[in-house]
């Protein structure tokens, strides 16, 4: 059995996920995990699949055909089998403030300085109430190594939150 991580992108239309799932199934594979999204009219996804070794070449050929068939470009990479991460603490981050350039860079730089890993990040903009401009909002799932101090992470984020003038919440996931 070989594990692959697939990245897929195409113009949004019905049937993209069905075509990819069919290729996995037709080659005896198992759809293990995925994150799929629609942004600005584009469908994008990342999918982990397990495939029997004898089916890999046929599967990779089938992926190449998906772009011509349904407009879905798919890249496949063999997943590296790594040791599971050491002890870690999970945190959830929520950020809300006036939209401005550089916000994601500043937040992620502060997280990196504290050794935090971002397991998931979703961000979006929306109109502020009463014509107050655009708001930027983000939610992230973080993982801190056991040796990291949550108070240091909070302090690093609160420092930039004050500079960016955003509300920030950092707590354990529910």
Residue 49 sits in a domain whose CATH number is 3.30.70.260
Query: So what's the pLDDT on residue 87?
Result: 66
Shared-domain flag, residues 48 and 68: yes
**Mean of per-residue pLDDT scores for the chain:** 90
149 and 94 share one domain? yes
pTM of structure: 0.76
Q: What is the pLDDT of residue 71?
A: 94
pLDDT of amino acid 84: 60
Average pLDDT over residues 105-123: 91
Does position 61 have pLDDT exceeding 90, yes or no?
A: yes
Domain C-terminal end among 46, 78, 110: 78
Instruction: List pLDDT tens digits, range 134-168.
Output: 899 999 999 988 888 888 888 999 888 888 888 98
Q: How many domains does the chain have?
A: 2
24 assigned to some structural domain: yes
Q: Are residues 65 and 94 in the same domain?
A: no
In a domain, 60, yes or no: yes
Is 53 part of any domain? yes
Indicate whether 93 belongs to any domain: yes
83 assigned to some structural domain: no
Q: Name the pLDDT band for 130 (thresholds 50, 70, 90).
A: confident
Which residue is it, tokens 């470009």? 73
CB 37 within 8 A of CB 44: yes
Based on the fold, state whether residues 95 and 133 are members of the same structural domain: yes
Confidence check: pLDDT of 117 > 60: yes
Asked whether residue 104 is assigned to any structural domain, the reply reads: yes
Q: Are residues 101 and 71 in the same domain?
A: no
Residues 9 and 53 in one domain: yes
Regarding whether 68 and 101 lie in a shared domain, the answer is: no
Residues 95, 73, single domain; the answer is no
97 and 124 in a single domain? The answer is yes
Q: Give the percent of the chain with pLDDT over 70.
A: 96
> Which of 36, 53, 78 marks a domain boundary?
78
Q: Which of 16-25, 35-44, 54-63, 94-103 has the lowest mean pLDDT?
A: 94-103
Domain that holds residue 97: 88-171
Q: Which of 27, 47, 78 lies at the terminal end of a domain, its last residue?
A: 78
């Amino acid at each position: 059995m070989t594990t692959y991580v697939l990245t897929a992108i195409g113009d949004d239309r019905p049937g993209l996920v069905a075509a990819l799932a069919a290729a996995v199934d037709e080659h005896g594979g198992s759809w293990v995990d995925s994150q799929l999204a629609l942004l600005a009219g584009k469908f994008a996804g990342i999918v982990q699949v397990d495939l029997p070794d004898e089916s890999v070449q046929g599967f990779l050929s089938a992926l190449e055909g998906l772009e011509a068939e349904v407009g879905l470009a798919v890249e496949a990479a063999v997943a590296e089998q790594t040791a599971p991460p050491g002890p870690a603490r999970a945190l959830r981050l929520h950020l809300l403030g006036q939209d401005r350039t550089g916000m994601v860079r500043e937040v992620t730089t502060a997280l990196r300085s504290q050794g935090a890993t971002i397991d998931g990040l979703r961000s979006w903009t929306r109109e502020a109430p009463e014509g107050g401009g655009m708001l930027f909002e983000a939610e992230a799932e973080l993982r801190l190594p056991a040796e990291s101090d949550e108070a240091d992470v909070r302090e690093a984020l609160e420092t930039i939150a004050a500079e960016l003038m955003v509300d920030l919440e950092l707590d354990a996931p529910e």
